């Protein structure tokens, strides 16, 4: 039986048993799980190995690229500006970013960026992966680009662009790069070992992701929004193996952390806005997160969705989530984040072996089900 390290409150011991079983079965190679409940870290566990050959054990402070789970940090930073009255959800994006008004986008609202409904799911101009490392190029192209659909009319997952769009608002309002704002305003007060733009000094702690066995399901129609989103440039699970990827600030996809650091960063949302003795958001702003912005079949992901302010909201495709003020998002390959403001819960599962689903899979679902069973009991 795979050895699990760390701490689990007796009430939540089944979570550790599930993680151990996943490692034994090969579903996981290395992973960490954390849960905050009613303001306390009640689960902080890890196990397995950092490499596919299973020669190096996953350590307490191992980090890994969490792909789109990074977006939850982007939402949080932008929401902090909303909370401070510096960013208005119904305001046009161009109020803060004048160049964005080009190509018919003068009326696109800030809330459309949060809700994947701005019509800017990808770039129109040809892109290479190296372009992700050029903040100015990514944002300037988006500012000049016409929407692919009427903003606010339907959801379409802004897989990479959402981070640059919200991140540019954070940059323009705060005067800091997005990664610097996150480090000073979230990671430091929350004592969260999470990085958007990883310094070389941390590379030795990184468990490089292990690619999935199947490619992302992408439309064969080269004119479709889905194809243009995922194939310009073609997404590659090996991106995080490149040091340039780790150094860049890509707020939708290149965050490096572990379950503990994700929970510490996000736990204020499940605890009335406060955690670790610091307040990030007011209860009023937290209530806004769970107000549905748009629902329907996501034209990029091809699945039914409900989007609040950034976070996904429970829907029929997620039977393991109860109804209520619950927000979630996950990363390519299986990483998953849950904030439940009703139950006072924050959950994170971060791993290095990527599954084949774009967002979430059975590993995270089993851990979440165990968590809810624990508080129900």
Domain containing residue 369: CATH number = 3.40.710.10
**Residue 307 in contact with residue 329, Cβ under 8 Å?**
no
Number of domains in the chain: 1
Residue 223 has pLDDT above 80, yes or no: yes
pLDDT tens digits for 88-134? 999 999 999 999 999 999 999 999 999 999 999 999 999 999 999 99
Instruction: Name the residue among 365, 191, 175 with its Cα closest to residue 262.
Output: 191
Averaged pLDDT for residues 133-145: 98
CB contact set of 193 (below 8 Å; sequence gap of 6+): 61, 63, 187, 257, 258, 260, 261, 264
Residue 238 has pLDDT above 80, yes or no: yes
Intra-chain end-to-end CA distance of the chain, in Å? 26
Residue 263 has pLDDT above 90, yes or no: yes
The DSSP line for 21-90 is: HHHHHTS-SEEEEEEEETTEEEEEEEEEBSSTT--SBPPTT-BEE-BGGGHHHHHHHHHHHHHTTSS-TT
pLDDT tens digits for 296-307? 999 999 999 999
Averaged pLDDT for residues 292-316: 95
Confidence of residue 247 (pLDDT cuts 50, 70, 90): very high
Range of the domain at 290: 4-376
């Amino acid at each position: 039986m795979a050895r699990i390290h760390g701490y689990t409150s007796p009430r939540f011991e089944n979570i550790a048993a599930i993680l151990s079983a996943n490692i034994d079965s090969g579903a996981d190679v290395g992973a960490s799980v954390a849960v905050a409940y009613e303001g306390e870290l009640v689960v902080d566990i890890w196990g397995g190995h950092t490499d596919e050959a299973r020669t190096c054990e996953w350590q307490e402070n191992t980090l890994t690229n969490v792909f789109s789970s990074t977006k939850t940090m982007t939402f949080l930073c932008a929401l902090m500006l909303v909370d401070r009255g510096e960013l208005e959800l119904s305001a046009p994006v161009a109020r803060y970013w004048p160049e964005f008004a080009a190509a018919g986008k003068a009326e696109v609202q800030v809330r459309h960026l949060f809700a994947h409904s701005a019509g800017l799911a990808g770039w129109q101009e040809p892109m290479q992966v190296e372009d992700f490392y050029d903040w100015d190029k990514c944002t300037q192209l988006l500012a000049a680009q016409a929407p692919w659909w009427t903003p606010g009319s339907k959801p379409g997952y802004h897989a990479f662009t959402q981070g640059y769009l919200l991140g540019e608002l954070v940059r323009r309002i705060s005067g800091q790069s997005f990664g610097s704002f996150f480090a000073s305003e979230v990671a430091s007060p929350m004592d969260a070992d999470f990085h958007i733009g990883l310094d070389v000094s941390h590379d030795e702690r990184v468990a490089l992701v292990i690619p999935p066995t199947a490619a992302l399901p992408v439309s064969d129609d080269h004119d479709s929004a889905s194809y243009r989103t995922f194939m310009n440039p073609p997404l590659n699970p090996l991106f995080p193996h490149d040091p340039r990827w780790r150094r860049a600030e890509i707020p939708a996809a290149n965050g490096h952390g572990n379950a503990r650091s994700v929970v510490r960063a996000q736990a204020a949302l499940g605890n009335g806005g406060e955690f670790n003795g610091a307040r990030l958001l007011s209860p009023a702003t937290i209530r806004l997160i769970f107000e549905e912005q748009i629902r329907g079949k996501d034209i990029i992901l091809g699945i039914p969705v409900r989007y609040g302010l950034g976070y996904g909201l429970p829907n029929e495709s997620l039977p393991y989530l109860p109804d209520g003020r619950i927000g979630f998002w996950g990363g390519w390959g299986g990483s998953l984040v849950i904030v439940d403001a009703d139950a006072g819960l924050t959950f994170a599962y971060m791993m290095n072996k990527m599954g084949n689903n774009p967002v979430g899979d059975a590993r995270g679902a089993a851990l979440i089900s165990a968590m809810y069973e624990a508080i129900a009991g």
